[in-house]
Structure 1
Amino acid sequence: MSKNIVLCGVGGQGTILASKLISGAAMNKGIPVKSAETIGMAQRGGSVFSHLRLGDDVDCPMIASGSADIIIGFEPGETVRMLPYLKKGGQVIVSSRPVMPVTAALAGSNYNGSEMLDYIRNKVEKVIVIDTEKACKELGSAKIVNLLLLGAAVNSGALGLDDEDIRKVIRTKIPEKFHELNFKALEYAKNAAINILI
């Protein structure tokens, strides 16, 4: 049985690394992986998304509309943009921290992401919102958003991977000096997600 995963965010948030960690963890377990990424504007804070399909019965890397099991959203607005991919009964893991698009900033918009989060909650039954801004402050690094969201996704059971699967791939794909911080982020997410499943 296949597992369809959409990851989305903006450039610089670690979306692609999270995608590679999931892929690596699945392959370590002998699960075939197909993936497709769009990263054209990543370096300028533009939209970034990955389609990941895990399983033996997968022919193409692109996920059809209405068939994603889980969306891991690094930014509320980008998550709303990807909602049409989510299947009925699917799950969303999303960061509460908004990243204002350049066009909105130039127009003097006051975008803060709260309306997007409300929209997601109204449209999706299974939602986990992670306060990544608070977590990054508490853990002392702004570069762990991807591991916070990945930890929450693993803990939810929607990925079909467990904590040790992710730890194993971190040890091989991320420099050793960052291991402890990343493991702390995984653990933090596990605890943070317990009481906020909506």
Structure 2
Amino acid sequence: MCNVKNVLLVGVGGQGIILASKVLSSGLIDSGYDVKMSEVHGMAQRGGSVTTQVRYGEKVYSPIIGKGQADIIVAFERVEALRWLEYLKPGGKIVINDYAIPSATVLSGKEAYPENIIEKMEAKYEDITVIDAANEAIALGNIKAQNIIMLGGLIKSLGIEEINWDKALKDNVKEKFVELNMKAVKKGLESGVKEKAL
């Protein structure tokens, strides 16, 4: 079982997390891995929490990742990173989108959006990659490409760049968006290269 990798993707409804997970799973399956994926939508339609769990390796028996077991957490939104940190295993990796989506309670003024989330996480965790996926996606011409930029950062962090991700995109994305998403993966791979300054 030690060869199984546990990937937890977390964010907010409408961020394209499930699509990113499907592309990831598709690429891994095509490369011969056994893959199990589970989705938890929550209040996805209303900007609530969405998570997907992807486990891959030679043989995977369950799609569920327990607390303290995730090799990597990919957070598409800052607060969601905080919400799911207890699932990260010691020495695990974090890929975080430097992006805020205020919840209904924040928007109503009932609570404040937490400050300095990324700085606090960088102080506590060694292996953290921060990606400004929103601005990178806007530069590509479509803010919705954030999810695939984050997927690129995940691919880089996992060291699975050799997989045919163009094929995985073609198999899962509408034809008119394939070229944009290919550029987004490349942008994410480049973003994932950055080392944290000492």
Asked if Structure 1 and Structure 2 have the same fold, meaning a TM-score greater than 0.5 normalized by the shorter chain, the answer is yes
Query: Mean alpha-carbon deviation: is it higher for 30-39 or for 188-197?
Result: 188-197
- Report how far residue 195 of structure 1 moved: 2.4
The 5 Å alignment of 1:115-126 reads 115-126=116-127
Count residues in correspondence. Answer: 195
SS of 2:135's equivalent? helix
RMSD, matched Cα: 1.7
Instruction: Tell me the CA shift for residue 137 of structure 1.
Output: 2.0
* Contact persistence 2:68–2:89 (CA under 8 A): yes
How far did residue 168 of structure 1 move? 1.3
Q: CA deviation at 1:59?
A: 2.0
Tell me the residue number matched to 2:141.
Answer: 140
What are the within-5 Å matches in structure 2 for residues 65-144 of structure 1? Answer: 65-107=67-109, 111=113, 114-144=115-145
CA distance 1:62–1:165, change in 2 (3 Å): same
Distance 2:163 2:170 in 1: 11
In the aligned structure 2, how far is the partner of 1:164 from the partner of 1:139?
Answer: 23
* Alpha-carbon distance, 1:193 to partner: 2.9
Deviations 1:23-54, CA, capped at 9 Å, x for gaps: 11111112111122110311100000011111
Contact 2:154–2:192 under 8 Å retained in 1? no
Whether 2:152 is the aligned partner of 1:154: answer no
- Partners of 1:162 and 1:88 in 2: CA distance: 24
Q: Give a deviation string over 1:66-93, Cα, whole Å, max 9, x none.
A: 1111111100100111111111111111
CA distance in 2, matches of 1:166, 1:37: 21
1:114 Cα deviation (Å)? 4.7
Q: Distance in 2 between matches of 1:197 and 1:151?
A: 18
Residues 154 and 163 in structure 1, CA contact (< 8 A), matched pair in contact too: no
Whole-angstrom CA distance in 1 between matches of 2:148 and 2:161: 13
Q: Please give the secondary structure, in 2, of the residue aligned with 1:144.
A: helix
Paired residues of 2:27 and 2:163 also in contact (CA < 8 A): no
Match of 2:54 in 1: 52
Q: Structure 1 stretches of 5 or more lacking a match?
A: none
Whole-angstrom CA distance in 2 between matches of 1:144 and 1:163: 21
What amino acid does structure 2 have at the position aligned with 1:183? M
Take 1:56 and 1:190, find their aligned partners in 2: how far apart are those partners?
25
The alpha carbon displacement at 1:133 in A equals: 2.2
CA distance in 1, matches of 2:130, 2:89: 19
Match of 1:191 in 2: 190
For 1:170-195, what per-residue CA distance to the aligned partner results, in whole angstroms no more than 9, with x for missing partners? 01111221111111111222223322
Q: CA deviation at 1:109?
A: 5.2
Contact 1:25 1:161 in 2 (8 A): no
Partner SS for 2:144: coil
Q: Which residue is 1:15 aligned to?
A: 17
In structure 2, what is the equivalent of residue 176 of structure 1?
175
1:89 maps to amino acid: G
Mapped contact 1:75–1:99 kept (Cα < 8 A): yes
